[in-house]
Amino acid sequence: MVKFPWMAARLALGALTAVLSACSAVTFGIANVPALFGPYERTTAIAYGTDKRQRLDVYVPAPDATNETAHGKPVVVFWYGGAWQSGHRSDYRFVGAALAKRGVVTVLPDYRLYPQVKFPDFLDDAAQAVAWVQQHAQEFGGDPHRIVLMGHSAGAHIAAFLALDGALLEKNGAKPEWIAGLVGLSGPYALVPNSEVLDTIFARPYSESDWQPVRFVTPQAPPTFLAQGLADRVVAVSHAEKLRNLLVANGVRVDTHLYPGRSHEDTVAGFSVPARSRLPVFEQAVQFIESLAPRGDPSR
């Protein structure tokens, strides 16, 4: 693993947390430098659909000291944010590498964005990616019955929607009962469009009852991990609180972590080596993922 000198790490941390929201190439470069090396294997640009945006990368834990490759490992599918308008899976290599180094098979899909598509087309892309993962998880040493859906910001909206709306997964050939958990980082789970662009992305004939993940909470929801900075100026903490309260009311396990003084970007930046010391979100998320039992396999 590459280790930054103390002063370089401080400078990198400041740059990372200051401009991550702007999706700066320099910022992602800082986050991804330590992720370029380590005990994992990365397979890129695998097609899960016909569109050029329907591609994904897979991060697989390397063989351990006994030369045992990944087998029956938990699988995380991670969607990045970008207001459903921007983003690329390669920018988040630091997420895939961090989880793979901890023994988690990790999949980072791209998905179609506005203006190419609007709601709910990007959700169909995400559901198709989950179907692909369920069909191919064992090829990468993962357990198809131990899949965790994870995302940041708009990506957390996508992950939560799929975890809570089983009909959407079934429509796209995936099995909702195989979803073992949900990890949401700073997500707009009770989304109310507040700009002209969002009003266009989320538009008639659909309404809030169609696009808000909180509307789909049932006792069948998977165990959930929610993380949010209390200084988040992009997504109000009330989104996490509302989802948490509904899950609790339905008897669903929910681990909620609200970080004083932390921003919208901190919850995903915390997965990178330069910013990991700012808050314990990475370790807490890994512990949550490791605690989840497989679901939907009658032989277990």
Q: What is the pLDDT of residue 7?
A: 30
Q: Domains plus CATH for the chain?
A: 6-291 (3.40.50.1820)
Q: What is the pLDDT of residue 295?
A: 84
Q: What is the pLDDT of residue 25?
A: 56
**177 is written with which tokens?**
């009962």
- Which tens digits make up the pLDDT trace of 41-76? 999 999 999 999 999 999 999 876 444 555 789 999
- Residue 100 and residue 106 in contact, taking contact as beta carbons nearer than 8 Å: yes
Q: How far apart are CA 212 and CA 198, in angstroms?
A: 13
Q: What is the pLDDT of residue 264?
A: 97
Q: What is the pLDDT of residue 38?
A: 86
Strand-pairing partners, residue 148, are 76, 181
- C-alpha pair distances (Å), 71 with each of 56, 105, 144, 173, 298: 20, 10, 11, 24, 19
Q: What is the pLDDT of residue 64?
A: 64
Residues with pLDDT less than 70, the chain: 1-26, 64-70, 297-300
- Residue 266 and residue 259 in contact, taking contact as beta carbons nearer than 8 Å: yes
Q: What is the pLDDT of residue 297?
A: 62
pTM above 0.85, yes or no: yes
Q: How far apart are CA 77 and CA 41, in angstroms?
A: 16
- C-alpha pair distances (Å), 75 with each of 145, 150, 217, 299: 9, 10, 23, 19
